[in-house]
Chains A and B, each alone.
Chain A
């Protein structure tokens, strides 16, 4: 009887410890600070104000997972940003760079690297060039199922379906296909589908459509913001 009781006690203690682990998802390193600094400019060298730089970490608790901000700051009118960040131990530190201005769409970056932490006390971004995003919509009207292959030679091309918001929904592990080629299927039920191609460099995009036995090949220049092409099959 006693052994059963002590068994229950042990299980209860283990459960409480696990719960405690779940409640304290991230450990911040004692006695450590990281200086994050840099200057954001356009390709022409003009300073960009309002770029938000954040240090983040993955929270890997027993029951929870999410992201938390360790520090964040906005670039000033000279494009300069300088902030002091906490560090995590253990954990991975991520650097998140996003434009907060609605006036134009600029590149955003999230870089996660465990080597940021442990040793580093300085993350110097230097002069960081942010390019404007060029987006082109290819509207396809079709009455039957269509297989398509969309390919671009520019390494930074993103290819998405439907609208801007879906661009970020790709699996991060699928980087190669995200940036170079996308092959998929357009269901006949939709009748109108939009492929949206975004890039920061002028580039040529090749589109191959296959509907039944018919095959069509197109070539588009993605070189202006918010251009649009229409294809009727």
Chain B
């Protein structure tokens, strides 16, 4: 059996809170297989984003391990190729047009060539923005910006995408469209997805739903 795309074991994370220590994660275990979609729900402040940051290698756990296909190397160099990220606030670079924002992921990874440009245009076409490739983020709606962010996350052909409340800043109809698109693109590319969301309907669309409560993951 092949290694899971993402494997977390005994993740613990706490933060100082005044004179005390707030234990946010108390030993989270999680395995995500290739092409699998997993949603994580939880109340505000339950530690969903903290968990996602640990899974993405952006933060270090107090204890426990995160492995990507068996390797605990989750540093910046590997992250560029292995992982795509989608955020609630889109985080597009305002000075770059839609295509350049998508290509930024490849520029950072290295190997920007004609094929990469073609792929960026193809991805923009897949998210329905083929004709807006040279629009600046300020010229796009919230839903369009998030679709550009989806294309950017898929640009390097990642094995795993982590999405932190990708519909949090969108109205319900637009949010539904973005989630459908995200799930569809991941499925067609056989990319695993960890989707953190408040929305139960969105969470239910993932193959597996989990709920984070009291610092531990359970079935959703």
Chains A and B belong together in one complex: no
Give B residues with C-beta under 8 Å from A: none
Give A residues with C-beta under 8 Å from B: none
